[in-house]
Structure 1
Amino acid sequence: MDEVMISEEDRRRLGAWAADCAARALALFEERAPGDTRPREALDGIRAYARAELRIGPLRPLALAALAAAREVGDPAATAAARAAGYAAAAPYIHPLATPHQAKHALGPAMQAARAAELVAGGDTRVGDAEIRRAIATAGPAVRGIVRQMPVFSPGRSRLDALRHQLDTALRH
């Protein structure tokens, strides 16, 4: 396995991009669980981290709380939206060894937000593909550099795998 070289500033840039991707789906969760603030708190935390106003440590419980909200909401689109927020808060937790799991930290927020959008649209994959294209267009050099250090992801079989492959392939170019 290769080693991932990522600076604290690049972790912050990745976090900002991840938060922007996940934020596009947050309303889908909040419509279905209006009293549950955990995904919003996760996004607030990663944005504060990206602005260097918060250290990395508090992000872990925020990420885990958003992922717990995903398990509890009982609606597929809301689940994907909460996962996007949880993965966004976890984005800076990339370890030195490049593994497929580490790539999920980087790509998960965009993939889950895209899946949430297409589920709300009745499964229309064009909606998810459009979200992935938007995520690609907004990914800066730091995000692309991090993805290039990760193992290449194969197309897989699920819709999330397809979204991940589309995102992974484009960010490497």
Structure 2
Amino acid sequence: MDLDELRAVTAYAVTCAEPALIRFERHRPGDPRARLALEAAREFAGGGPRTKAIRDAAWAAQRAYGEARDAGQRAASEAARSAVAAASAAYLHPIAKATQVWHILGAAAHAAYAAELDGEPAPPPLAPSPAVVAVLRRYPPAPAGRGRAGELLRELDRRLRP
């Protein structure tokens, strides 16, 4: 996998996570961690270097997920997970394992689940570029498990494969 493909996957993940960021900030005003994760991923997708700052921002957003979950703010927690997934897309591994599909489509799945938890219909998934679909097809189908977000991930994965 080349850097352009990795940037395309990350750009797609960021675009999918952006609606969830609005949801996260509505439920957890003043918590910048999900936004910072998306900003770090967006910078990489736009041509910046893949640095430790992306990973650090993803871990911070992961902590925001846990805090929102523990506070009973399920929609906010899934929205934070969408930001985590977007930042994690920059670290997609070329090893053809089904779990890597989470790096490609996880932001979309968590964003859709966050919308459902907020009582809204899941937005239609954004159409990925041909480059993102080509990368996805190098991996086995999405793995089983991980609850409703996993169901949404597998549904999107099935739609994008021939």
Consecutive unaligned residues in structure 2, runs of 5 or more: none
Distance 1:159 1:39 in 2: 21
Match of 2:16 among 17, 21, 40: 21
State the AA in 1 paired with 2:152: L
**Which residue number in structure 2 is paired with residue 87 of structure 1?**
85
Q: How far does residue 156 in structure 1 lie from its aligned partner after superposition?
A: 5.1
Q: How far does residue 82 in structure 1 lie from its aligned partner after superposition?
A: 0.4
Q: How far does residue 32 in structure 1 lie from its aligned partner after superposition?
A: 1.4
**Which residue number in structure 2 is paired with residue 161 of structure 1?**
150
TM-score (norm 2): 0.91
Distance 2:20 2:97 in 1: 27
4+ residue runs over 4 A deviation: 154-157
C-alpha RMSD of matched pairs (Å):
1.6
Percent identical among aligned pairs is 40
Contact persistence 2:78–2:111 (CA under 8 A): yes
Q: How far does residue 157 in structure 1 lie from its aligned partner after superposition?
A: 8.0
Q: Within 5 Å, which residues of 2 pair with 1:15-164?
A: 15-73=10-68, 74=71, 75-121=73-119, 127-128=121-122, 131=123, 133-135=124-126, 137=127, 139-153=128-142, 158-164=147-153
**Which residue number in structure 2 is paired with residue 7 of structure 1?**
2
Q: How far does residue 134 in structure 1 lie from its aligned partner after superposition?
A: 2.8
Contact persistence 1:56–1:92 (CA under 8 A): no
Q: How many residues align?
A: 159
Distance 2:6 2:74 in 1: 29
Contact persistence 1:29–1:81 (CA under 8 A): yes
Distance 2:148 2:85 in 1: 18
Distance 2:155 2:3 in 1: 27
Distance 1:37 1:67 in 2: 12
Distance 1:159 1:67, change over 3 A: same
